[in-house]
Amino acid sequence: MRLYNTLTRRAEPFAPQDGKTVRMYVCGPTVYDYLHIGNVRPVLVFDALRKYMERFKGWEVVYVQNITDVDDKLINRARETGETVEALAGRFSCAYFGLLRDLGVEEPTESPRATDHIPAMVALIGRLVEKGYAYSRGGDVYYRVAAFSEYGKLSGRRSEDQEAGSRVAVSEQKEAPLDFTLWKAAKPGEPTWDSPWGPGRPGWHTECVVLSRRSLDETLDIHAGGNDLIFPHHENEIAQAEAASGKLFARFWLHNGMLNFGGEKMSKSLGNFAYAHEVLAKFPAETIRYFYLSRHYRKPLDYSEEGLEEAGRALARVWTVIEEVEAESGEAGAPGRAGETFLGRLAAFRARYVERMDDDLDTSGGVAVLQDLASETNRFRATAVGADRRALRGAVSLLRELGSPLGLLQGAAQAAKGREEDLLRLLVALRDELRAKREYALADSVRDRLAALGIILKDTAQGTIFTRG
């Protein structure tokens, strides 16, 4: 297997350090809000990587994803809502794990919370101070970037260029503009913990270093996240971890491309986003997975409901093959000569799938193999008779096997579910037309009959959405 390593800027052969256990860390959510649909991309991409490694490579994967439950965003949101930071973090942590279940994502092996490991963060900062990589000023502790000669090796940014182009206001306490905060002195109304430098709380970059190393040793096999984290977050993690231990922090750094909306990166700060749970109310989880995984993970992806609808249609074509073959009540036994020949051709599909997935997790190539296999199965099905039709079940079994790492084709009657979603969208569009024509009685009748079936329509400024009551 080869993976593109951001650290070396090339695809390299990958295998776990000990040959059997992959130690992988993926940056998790800051739990101050629901995830938007752009946040879902790394969740699905690295879930697929984990499943492929376990089910096709035979490796055990220790998959750690942190929960950031103390941060400026959490503190600010708690002030807005009147909740405590702890209550807010607990509420959105539950929402996050619920979303994972709804998306068919396997929960991490461990999900350490930042606030459970503050003493370890204090110890790391203390070690950096002792070694001359950090300094204390007025209760704050800063990392001395100039002391780490390899700073910028992940992002490719030279310190002198960054400093010359810096737009960040330089604190009078800092020795240099690029120095970043490891410990923040306490402010009124904020959560605080004791430290040798006074009460305060750790910085975000420090949290991830400690939470990754506590379970995965000093050198990880894989550290992953969105490419918006390369600088400064991941660069600052490397600076701390390697200065403290003198060892390589992570062998491979994997980064997914951003989800774009209207030509711009999807972002809450820009206001161009949709919450993931709202999209799940309109589209099945498998459709969303198919949409994301039909594009290579390192490339940007344009989000649109039209794209999701097309993904649903493409997925339904494969499901139709599975359901119709499985509905046939064929007898057990060996297929005829034509069926044996067909089964012999299936090995080439599996080999091509493995080749694509081994090539830097090319899920788009893996999805293409699923479509080609479904088409080949349909062609054989159109002419196969008698005992030869028994071979069709071998093709369906392979479709399910290849779909497994992608989180596709595992349930029952999913094509029917996709068609149900299409029918509901058609009824919503029909009701919208009736309302536009001022035929309100008929429009209300559609709404009320759907409500009786447990389908609740909600009219919003962005259009009508439906949920299941």
Predicted pLDDT at 458: 79
The strand pairing partners of 259, in sequence order, are 301
Q: How far apart are CA 416 and CA 51, in angstroms?
A: 26
Q: How far apart are CA 424 and CA 447, in angstroms?
A: 11
Inter-residue contact 83 to 31 (CB < 8 Å): no
Predicted pLDDT at 424: 77
Q: Which pairs count as long-range contacts for 231-236, CB under 8 Å and 24+ apart, including other chains?
A: 231/154, 231/155, 231/157, 232/180, 232/205, 233/27, 233/204, 233/205, 233/208, 234/154, 234/155, 235/151, 235/152, 235/154, 235/155, 235/157, 236/143, 236/180, 236/205
The domain limits of the chain are 2-130+205-265, 298-406, 416-468
Angle between helices 392-403 and 363-383 (to 10 degrees): 170
Angle between helices 414-436 and 305-327 (to 10 degrees): 140
What sign has the CA pseudo-torsion 156, 161, 163, 169? negative
Inter-residue contact 259 to 216 (CB < 8 Å): no
Homologous superfamily of domain range 2-130+205-265: HUPs (3.40.50.620)
Predicted pLDDT at 106: 96
CATH classification (class only), 298-406 = mainly alpha
Q: Are strands 259-261 and 301-302 parallel, antiparallel or unpaired?
A: parallel
Predicted pLDDT at 84: 96
Helix (H) or strand (E) holding 332: none
The strand pairing partners of 23, in sequence order, are 62
3-state secondary structure of 226: strand
Q: Are strands 2-5 and 180-185 parallel, antiparallel or unpaired?
A: unpaired
The strand pairing partners of 136, in sequence order, are 141
Inter-residue contact 99 to 277 (CB < 8 Å): yes
Rg of the chain on CA atoms, in Å? 26
3-state secondary structure of 221: strand
- Give the type of residue at 130: E
Q: How far apart are CA 367 and CA 370, in angstroms?
A: 5
Q: How far apart are CA 432 and CA 435, in angstroms?
A: 5
Q: How far apart are CA 118 and CA 205, in angstroms?
A: 13
Predicted pLDDT at 159: 63
N-to-C CA span, the chain: 45
- Give the type of residue at 89: A
Any residues with CB less than 8 A from the CB of 106 and at least 6 apart, and which? 47, 50, 51, 63, 100
The answer to whether the 2-130+205-265 and 298-406 domains have the same CATH topology is: no
Geometric angle at alpha carbon 141, from 113 and 93, rounded to 5°: 15
Mean pLDDT by 10 residues, the chain (469 residues): 98 97 97 95 98 98 97 95 96 96 96 97 98 97 98 86 49 89 96 98 96 90 98 98 97 97 75 89 95 98 95 95 84 84 96 98 98 97 92 96 97 58 79 87 88 80 65
Q: What is the pTM of this model?
A: 0.86
